[in-house]
């Protein structure tokens, strides 16, 4: 990985101002409580991927009430995880959480593993989640890099409007160079930069006037040049396979008994071929099971 160098004075100012801002403006989220368990933090990190916190919190609270430990979730049918995933989107995450809980029971005595390597080995856990849980749940200051952190650093340090479409070696190096050397500060830094990106340094209409590092932001000092990368298109929704898959799953969630195949066509009657394709994909992904009376969530 390439190395990055950030001027010590700039870095010191970034640390002081962003950490001070976070101590005053951090959202009061239940998984940030001093008493939050590693399991509660693990759930929050998986649920929050590509999903706004406002949608995550009520589902997170329901899961914690229903399955307060990895043992509890591992003992439930996989279909119940899918059923109670609600409308968080990307429902394969529910299956991966269920698989991860069973792996924790089988390999780690029902506990969330403490090492980055063991976390990364869990089903459905990638680099971001492993680093975030290691840092936020276990105080191990791994370099956490999510979309918000990438955007703050590329603006404040690199002077560009937006990060590249995919994480680059340069971004990894800058994120590593930006980490405070103090262990406690480093863990707080991970959360603080992420929060700044979520609340102030947003992709669209950033609130630069509220930014604690406005005067030293390289993007501001360069005159806020526009993004020079490829055009970024928003994700379509209406009529997509994602929408139809979601409707099929919602019908199965709302129906305690198996649903007959003919009834599934009601979710998108204008295109039965699309329903067939989406249903086949859901079965292949393990989110839906064919049974004698039709289709149901997995047992």
Cβ contact 197:152 at 8 Å: yes
284 is known as an active-site residue:
no
Which distant-in-sequence residues (6+ apart) come within 8 Å of 8 by Cβ?
Answer: none
Look at residues 43, 38, 46 and name the one whose alpha carbon lies nearest to residue 146.
46
Helix locations, the chain, DSSP H: 8-25, 38-47, 53-66, 70-74, 78-83, 92-108, 116-120, 127-138, 147-156, 169-178, 183-199, 218-221, 241-254, 261-264, 272-284
Look at residues 103, 64, 69, 63 and name the one whose alpha carbon lies nearest to residue 83.
63
3-class DSSP state for residue 259? Answer: strand
The active-site residue out of 45, 99, 171, 195 is 45
* Cα diameter, the chain: 68
Cβ contact 289:283 at 8 Å: yes
Return d(Cα 75, Cα 292) in angstroms, integer.
25
Return d(Cα 299, Cα 296) in angstroms, integer.
8
CA angle 209, 211, 216 (to 5 degrees): 100
| Residue written as token pair 């109670």 | 84
Supply 218's token pair: 């390289």
Return d(Cα 86, Cα 246) in angstroms, integer.
10
Cβ contact 121:96 at 8 Å: no
Q: What share of the chain is helix, strand, coil (3-state, %, to 5)?
A: 55, 0, 40
Residues labelled catalytic: 45
């Amino acid at each position: 990985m390439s190395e990055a160098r950030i001027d010590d004075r700039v870095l010191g100012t970034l640390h002081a101002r962003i950490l001070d801002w976070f101590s005053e403006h951090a959202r009061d989220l239940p998984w940030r409580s001093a008493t939050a368990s590693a399991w509660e933090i693990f759930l929050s990190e998986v649920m929050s991927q590509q999903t706004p916190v406002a949608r995550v919190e009520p589902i997170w609270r329901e899961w914690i009430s229903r399955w307060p430990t990895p043992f509890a979730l591992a003992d439930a049918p996989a279909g119940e995880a899918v059923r109670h995933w609600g409308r968080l989107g990307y429902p394969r995450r529910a299956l991966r959480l269920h698989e991860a809980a069973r792996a924790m029971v089988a390999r780690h005595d029902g506990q969330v593993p403490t090492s980055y390597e063991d976390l990364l080995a869990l089903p459905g856990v990638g680099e971001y989640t492993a680093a975030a849980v290691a840092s936020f749940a276990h105080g191990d200051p791994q370099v956490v890099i999510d979309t918000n952190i990438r955007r703050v650093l590329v603006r404040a340090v690199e002077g560009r409007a937006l990060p590249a479409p995919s994480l680059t070696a340069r971004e990894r190096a800058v994120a590593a160079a930006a980490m405070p050397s103090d262990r406690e500060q480093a863990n707080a830094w991970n959360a603080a930069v992420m929060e700044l990106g979520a609340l102030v340094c947003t992709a669209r209409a950033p609130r630069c006037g509220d930014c604690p590092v406005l005067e030293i932001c390289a993007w501001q000092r360069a005159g806020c040049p526009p993004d020079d990368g490829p055009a970024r298109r928003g994700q379509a929704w209406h009529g997509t396979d994602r929408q139809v898959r979601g409707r099929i799953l919602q019908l199965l969630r709302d129906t305690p008994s198996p649903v007959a195949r003919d009834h599934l066509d009601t979710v998108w009657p204008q295109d039965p071929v699309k329903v067939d394709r989406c249903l086949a994909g859901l079965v292949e992904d393990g989110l839906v099971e064919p049974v004698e009376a039709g289709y149901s969530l997995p047992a």
